[in-house]
Chain A
Amino acid sequence: MGTNVPEELLRRTFEIQGRDFENAGERSAEVTTILKDLDVDPNIILRVGVVAFEAEMNVVMYARRATLMFVLTDQEIVVEVADEGPGIPDIELAMQPGYSTASDEMREMGFGYGLGLPNIKKNSDVFSLQSEVGKGTRVYSIIRLMSYG
């Protein structure tokens, strides 16, 4: 059990613009709407929602633009956000809860508490983060539809 290759059921890609605070959260809302429509377990939706939202907000706050890819298979949900942006010089530091490079302006809007990346990791079953300074960052997260033991 559990060794069969996941069968892809649905795939969507969305474009995210940096600094677009007005539409921030729209893409992750679209993802959760799809999952709600498909009657996926609310707890899974909640986790996917957090992952997609935090990744989307990171793009809006720091990057120029990005693509959010969402894939649903019969076993798991994949969220991948790859941006063109400044990159993260010290990933280990960025993963520490509370560490943030957000401006005062962002903090005033209620963001930039340094919880985004740790929150994505916490809600993922598989998580990876790659970044190249001056080029961009790629956040990759898998959330399993069922927990196996």
Chain B
Amino acid sequence: MDKLTHGFRIDREKCQGCLSCMRVCPTHAIRVKDAKAQYRSDSCIDCGVCLTACSSDAICATTTSVEDLSRFKFKVAVPSPVLFGQFPTGITPAQIVDGLLAFGFDEVWDYSVDINLVTRAIQQYVDQWTGPTPLISISCPVVVRLVQVSYPAMVDQLIPVQPAREIAGREAKRRFSARLGLREDQIAAIYITPCQAKTMSILQPAEGVVSNLDGALGFHEVYNGVLACASLKKGDAIKSSRSPIIRNSGLLRVHVSEGMGRLVQQHRYLRVTGLSNTIQVFNDIEKGKLRNVGFLEAYSCWNGCAGGNLTVANVYVAGATLRSLARTLPEMDAVTEAEVERRFPTEDFSLKAPIRPRPVRGTADNLKERVHMRQLAEDVLATLPGLDCGLCGAPTCRELARDVSMGDASEDDCVFLSKRRLQDLRRVYLRSTA
């Protein structure tokens, strides 16, 4: 079977070798060889920064295709709550649900209950924890992979409680298989996702198990269909007899600005958004500067999931829409509360397997050899200009030095050290004058 380790592919035909993706990649997982970008898939954390940076449309994301879904007898959409902030004012959650049904889903799952269950499980875990802090939420898959790749010593600080979307998938399949007399594998629970990273977390969970969800469709894939449906039946949508998709504001609040902070009040809580900010905070944790924080919620996307790379609406507008929607709803309602009380004692919310560090480029088994290679890299680095121009095809001089030490590159790839390299680059990049 193919080993799928990250969510992006580069179309070599379209790639212009412009270095943009390589320069922005936060984990230095891209190299440019012969004017074509390529991934070091073990370092990729699925953040999607490369996808946004590419101006040649050469990077494609792995997704679930709509055709894949036809093999299921019953299809349940599990929309991220952020979806309800994507559409123009006047389009209600009920209309969005109608739109998803028209798109081909048989049911749409409301996961307010699931998010409350998960929050409670997290709270219990945080309360009982006596190890190093802060504990880190695993809601954002990029953050999980970042820890696995760049902060392996912190993996035990990741809270081993399944994300709400996973619990929602499990319960949706359980509920509808009982109701319809179908096997669980005949029912598809499809996450409607704001980002590529969550698709990858479903196709290949970080803890190496099988997801409760069967796939994911991006907001951009359902947007037009939902919008068209909503505009068509604008008049009678109000009459929709369907029970409300969102009964309380808790679900939305978690996703807008408050995060889970309100729900785990007795612990010192921090919410960080944006990948570079998150990395800065992790570096501070590593240096022991955040020892008083008990619980950390970090999101790779700026402003959280509403800023995901598969969203359609402007992140600020989406936030405002979600906030105004939250204001129209009660904080909690009796139906949700009763469901939470009923389900909590009967379900297990813990991750099915522990999250382990992801080994990156472990070429030498022997420590002595690794020390030797590191020394070699330091020596090479001392000969490089330190400008991080990227023309060698590595994002920084330090990375080139490391590549050289591993035998993946040569010092002659540096334009300062080799005239031939410059000539080669001219040939490739200045095609018209060659």
Contact = CB atoms under 8 A, between A and B. Distances in A.
Given A9-B368, A37-B374, A72-B371, A42 B288 contact: no
8 contacts: A7-B368, A10-B371, A24-B287, A28-B288, A38-B367, A42-B357, A45-B153, A49-B286
B155 interface: yes
A72 B375 CA distance: 13
Contacts of A2: none
A141 interface: no
B44 to A, nearest CB: 18
A: interface residue count bin: 20 to 34
Interface residues of B, number: 21
Contact of B367 (A24, A34, A43, A145): A145
Interface in B347-388: 357, 359-360, 362, 367-368, 370-371, 374-375
Contacts of A29: 283, 286-287
Given A25-B287, A28-B287, A29-B286, A38 B370 contact: yes
A26 interface: yes
B77 to A, nearest CB: 39
Contact of B370 (A7, A39, A46): A39
Interface in A15-37: 24-26, 28-29, 32, 34, 36-37
B288 A25 contact: yes
Nearest to B283: A29
Given A26-B287, A38-B374, A9 B292 contact: no
Contact of B286 (A32, A37, A43): A32
B244 interface: no
Contacts of A43: 153
A25 B227 CA distance: 53
Interface in A83-103: none
B367 A42 contact: no
A57 B362 contact: no
A149 interface: no
A133 B118 CA distance: 54
A74 B367 contact: yes
A32 B153 contact: yes
A53 B288 contact: yes
Contacts of A34: 374
Contacts of B359: 39
Contacts of A145: 367
A46 B153 contact: yes
Contacts of A25: 287-289
Contacts of B287: 24-26, 28-29, 53
B291 interface: yes
Given A34-B374, A38-B371, 7 more contacts: A9-B368, A10-B371, A24-B287, A25-B287, A28-B287, A28-B288, A53-B288
Contacts of B360: 39
Nearest to B155: A42
Nearest to B356: A42
Contacts of B292: 110
